[in-house]
Amino acid sequence: MDVSVFSPAKINLFLAVTGRRADGFHDLVSVVVLLDFGDELQAEESRIQNSESKRFSLECDVPDLLVDETNLILKAAAAFAAATGWRGGAAFRLTKRIPLGAGLGGGSSNAVAALRALNELAGGLLGEQRLAEIAATLGSDCALFVKNAPAVMRGRGERVEALPAGAVRRLSGRRVLVFKPSFGIGTPWAYGRMAARGGDYLAAAEAEARLTAWVGGTAPAEEICFNNMEPAAFAKFVALPVLREKLRREFGVAAQMSGSGSACFALLGEDFVTAPLVARIREDWGPAAFVREARIA
């Protein structure tokens, strides 16, 4: 049996990191949406010949991606087998479209895609709640991809709450231009740098107040956009704020970094012509820059 699962990218429209916890993680409040572009994960069921056989394997069309046991796909597979007692195996093939080190949730999305693929191969052993519980053990963003809808994330990201229908209507189908320079930003570095700086946190009460005001109102998605991880990243990676200012000045576009970066995004109107904007991005960041138009799913 062979199954294929779409593995979407995400962007953080609103990301307020509110402080560092005793366990070393950070608390946050975030409005997160999934996009209609992403990776594709195939899983082919394989027979286990003996106890020494390798149960799970992974191939990818991007050479830079590690495909050993550190990859979240294989971690998810091991977690699924441990939780269900399923005795089968699978060979995974990942078609990678989400760039690495981007803050677009590619690894977490891939992990959940692996859980879904194995659950289908195994005959649907787990319901959504149990899948979410397993996903939460794999990474902070993983529970979001089980929900598969615009959501609010809290805690370190494991607490996911669906957005009210009115807020979802203001988001669904919006055009988004996602763009990333040739370099990535490591998530551990970004959070570590934020902790070292100390002054970039937003109080939890203020973050919740901003969120409540937007959810309860009628303002468009642009009004909730915020990311307090930007100052730490922008201080080191100056290409990000320099281009953002050019896009604001030349095109009236308000760009923002997603998550811990380095990918940025801009919400676009339906009549906005993207070609000059894309040309400016490539002029500043070079032909290796990733640029992709998408829509909020």
Nearest to 33 by CA among 259, 268, 194: 259
- The reply to whether 200 belongs to the active site is no
* Per-residue CA distances from 241 to 11, 202, 226, 234 (Å): 18, 20, 14, 6
Q: What SS3 state is found at 149?
A: coil
Q: Name the residue among 182, 284, 280, 186 with its Cα closest to residue 229.
A: 186
The token duo for 107 is 């690894």
- Residues 6+ away with beta carbon under 8 Å from 30: 12, 14, 15, 16, 152, 153, 154, 157
DSSP-assigned letters across all residues of 100-130: TTSSS-HHHHHHHHHHHHHHHHTTS-S-HHH
Residues 6+ apart with CB under 8 A from 50: none
* 191, amino acid identity: Y
Single-letter amino acid, residue 217: G
- Residue 59 CA to its chain's centroid (Å): 21
> Out of 10, 96, 147, 180, which one is annotated catalytic?
10
| Amino acid making up residue 142 | C
Q: Which residues pair with 17 in a beta bridge?
A: 28
Rounded CA gap, 175 and 172, in Å?
9
Among candidate residues 27, 75, 96, 141, the one labeled active-site is 141
Does residue 141 carry a catalytic annotation?
A: yes
The full DSSP string for 212-262 is: HHHHTS---GGGG-EETTHHHHHHH-THHHHHHHHHHHHH---EEE-TTSS
Q: In angstroms, how far is the first alpha carbon of the chain from the final one? A: 29
Which residues are marked as active site? 10, 141
